[in-house]
Amino acid sequence: MSDLQQEASDPKYSVWVSASAGTGKTKVLTDRFLRLLIKGVEPANILCLTFTNAAAVEMQARINSKLKYLSLCNAEKLEEELFLMLGNKPLQPELENAKTLYDKILNSNEPLNIYTIHAFCQKILKTCPLEAGITPEFKILEETKLQDIFLNIRNEIYLSDEHNDLMKILLNRFHEITLQDIFSEIIEQKIKFKKLFTHKTIPGEIQNKRLALGELNNIYDKVKNLFVKYDLEIEPKEFFFTKDGKKRKSLLSKELIRKYPKLLLELEKITSEIYHLDELRRIEELEYHTNLLTKLAYIILKKYDSYKEENNLLDYDDLIYYTEKLLNNKATHEWLLHKLESKINHILVDEAQDTTPTQWNIITTLITEFNAMDKPNNSIFIVGDDKQSIFSFQGADLRNFSLVNEQLKANLTKANKKFKNITLEYSYRSCTEILQFTHYVLQNIKSDYPNLFFPDNPLISSFRTHQGTVTVWPLVTSKKQEELFWALPEDYKNSKSAADLLIEQIVNFIKEKIESKEILPSICAMKSGYTKINLENSKEFVNQGAECILNVQCPSHSDYKNDSANFSNSSRISEKDFMILVRKRDEFSNNLIKELSKAKLKIEISDRINLKDHLSIMDLMSVAKFVLLPDDDLNLACLLKSPIIGINEQQLYELLINKKDQSLWDTLSLYLDIYEKLNSFIEIYKTSTAENFFTIVVNSLNLRELLNVHNGDDSDDMINELLTLSSNYANDIDNSLQGFVAWFENNNIYIKRNMEHSDKIRVMTVHGSKGLEAPIVILCDSTSLPVSSNKFIWNDNGEMFFSANAADTPQFLQELKEAEKLKDLQEYIRLLYVAMTRAKDHLIICGFSNKATTSENSWYKIAKQTFDKFFN
């Protein structure tokens, strides 16, 4: 343990810890909890809030493991362990506590108070439900049922006479798909809307007055007459504004000014009035559409609240909402805090950068009371890293991170309490090369794009002595086809996209690394006599064309081949050492998974996967859709190309050519083998139900093994999930296969898995990789930029705005949208930091583009620029 870690874990101080990736924040958090226990603080008096259930479970496990170990130590070893933890010779009561705590906690009826913020709020609401205005026996609404509930609400609103006028307006103004997106976003942002409804009057009859539009059209008529006078055929609106509603930089060309010098003078008299009236028109349109969507949101959420009330349910947002409301209620505030205070004297908060403003309100309300001068032994511990704030889509707002820090420092100073800001400065994960490169990337951004990255960026030292590499592969672009007067179909069919070429490169790289039987640098460093530690002499900064390498080599196979007993097979590079990171799940990641599977490489796909996005599930659902509707050509084509049938593109192309006016299914009667296999599915369907259809198809026709071979090692688990899901659906809802398929298509069923100790290649999003690490990290989705799909814009006062299109957006809202875009880009950069700092030994950054270059602010461009600037 470093001196700073020991200082941060000392409960004598209230501490705010800034912990860069890999600096051992979980250890500090755990040690602080342990030191409180060893000092004699009752477990019930300590509250620890974590960001995820997995983090809470991990911390519980670490504490129990350490206490168990201490309970088994002899006297001499126990004193040594406590000295290392406490930084001083332990007192006799501390030794006694350390020896007995494990049994005490094991035999206690109460678990340690280590919760997610949602679980903590649930506990508060269970303690005083009536004061919160909810029923005591409330249950938590299962997330898997949410989409079904909102689908029913949407259908109810669509078909209701009561809301007929509103829906007519909305359907007239928005495409059905856009309206579905609006419904979804209202659901995602329901807690914001609920707060909005507390201070905003819900509009009754909504009218679009369009007063400014009438005046504007009158002026446009004058402009038309003016253009007629000069023999010009120009539409006035297009003359002053671009298609997306922006003011034109120049109204007249130099030629027109020379030809009609008086026209410019006449236009100047009315231009400012046109711009003023157009801005008023935009504000009227904005107010109209905002009122429409506010009313829709109110109707949706009122029906949703009624459903929950009737069924005695709360969702996870409700837990936060009602707890904050309870703490802000003057009638219950003092009583509740007194009740909590009598138990909680020490608060520990993990992952502070990902805490939402509403969650901070709850935490700071608790902290404020514990800071009183008459409570000298209370302490606060908060740990986080603003560079790793990547969950804005869940409501996290980085601005609160520094604000709460300043507020906490001021309050504690006022109460004459000891408070420290501590920055951990050693990484226990990454080698020096990765840490230096990451630091230079962020410094380069701060220098060239100061608006994109503003957190502190200390240069973290590596605790590890081993040497590693950072490599930026050349950007993969599509091979240019020679220009001809006619197309060559065969060449076209055989050409590979840039994405396909990169996937091929990644697969080959992994295979070569595994076949090389190299020993990882971190493993080398653990074997005395095999480390080459002189970093200053061994670094090479190489620029080989487009390929950039910050390179330090581990001892080659020849260095240890004569003494192979030092290295077991488990020490050599294998699938478990690779983590492949993408920014989002899409066609590229799916194709990458397919090719890794084809190469017989063991893979683990993401920590959280939507069941219907898994290849094996997609294939099995194609079977179900086929038996329900054999004449669906598109679905049948997907089934034919799947491993279940296994025809190739050329064969499918021939089938489609030959089918003429027939359905694809009718055409297949000429292909006996395929027809009989497909017909066997129909025969199974005739005698089965939703409960057993997939079980029979998978097991009796040996599809399980076939799909497992083609679709990855986790295929078996995903198939089992589908079988369980269909069985539960049949027992709880409906036993028809058609009903299950419709339900499954309309719901997102996420499967969560612990990937920390996987023995396979981990393919996952950067968000999913948070908190994980790997010896070799390949960051391959590095060229795309974030694109916001948010329909609603919110200001800092919690007011919502909705603009139907860019041409109707007022200036102030354009500025708000630009501010949101900047926030998205800032988080995009922080996401890059998280991605790079997953790597222990080797970091590879690669990407593909259909052009010769990539976007200015893309991860790839930033990484390449860093090499060019610092290492050339």
Cα–Cα distance, 471 to 544 (Å, whole number): 11
Q: Say whether 26 counts as a known binding-site residue.
A: yes
- The DSSP string of 50-68 is ESSHHHHHHHHHHHHHHHH
Q: Which residues pair with 580 in a beta bridge?
A: 763, 778
Smallest CA-to-CA distance from 26 within 75, 61, 59, 3 is with 59
Please state, in angstroms and rounded to a whole number, the distance separating the CA atoms of residues 861 and 812.
32
The residue behind tokens 């359907």 is 171
The answer to whether 356 touches 396, Cβ cutoff 8 Å, is yes
Residue 240, helix vs strand vs coil: helix
Centre a 10 Å sphere on the Cβ of residue 706 and count the other Cβ atoms it contains.
Answer: 18
The reply, when asked if residue 712 is annotated as ligand binding, is no
**Is 499 annotated as ligand-binding?**
no
Element (H, E) at 191: helix 190-197
Residue 210: φ, ψ to 5°: 55, 45
Kindly give the residue spans of alpha helices, DSSP state H, lying in 688-810.
693-700, 703-711, 715-732, 737-745, 766-769
- Residue 461: in which H helix or E strand, if any? strand 461-462
Place of tokens 């996952």: 764
CA distance 866 to 453: 15
Q: Is 331 exposed, middle or buried (0-12, 13-18, 19+ CB in 10 A)?
A: exposed
Q: Which residue bears the tokens 């006449």? A: 266
Q: Are 457 and 446 in contact (CB under 8 A)?
A: yes
Q: How far apart are CA 589 and CA 781, in angstroms?
A: 9
Q: Render the burial of 610-640: b for 16+ CB within 10 Å, e for the rest.
A: ebebbbbbbbbbbbbbbbbebebbebbbbbb
Determine if residue 22 is labeled as part of a ligand binding site. yes
Residues 6+ apart with CB under 8 A from 775: 520, 522, 573, 577, 578, 839, 840, 841, 842
271 is in an annotated binding site: no
For the record, the structure tokens of 594 come out as: 């397919």
24 is in an annotated binding site: yes
What lies within 8 Å, CB to CB, of 347 at 6+ separation is: 47, 48, 49, 363, 366, 367, 370, 379, 380, 381
Residue 23 is assigned to a ligand binding site: yes
Q: Was 525 annotated as part of a binding site?
A: no
Enumerate the known binding-site residues for ATP. Answer: 19-26
Annotated binding site: 19-26
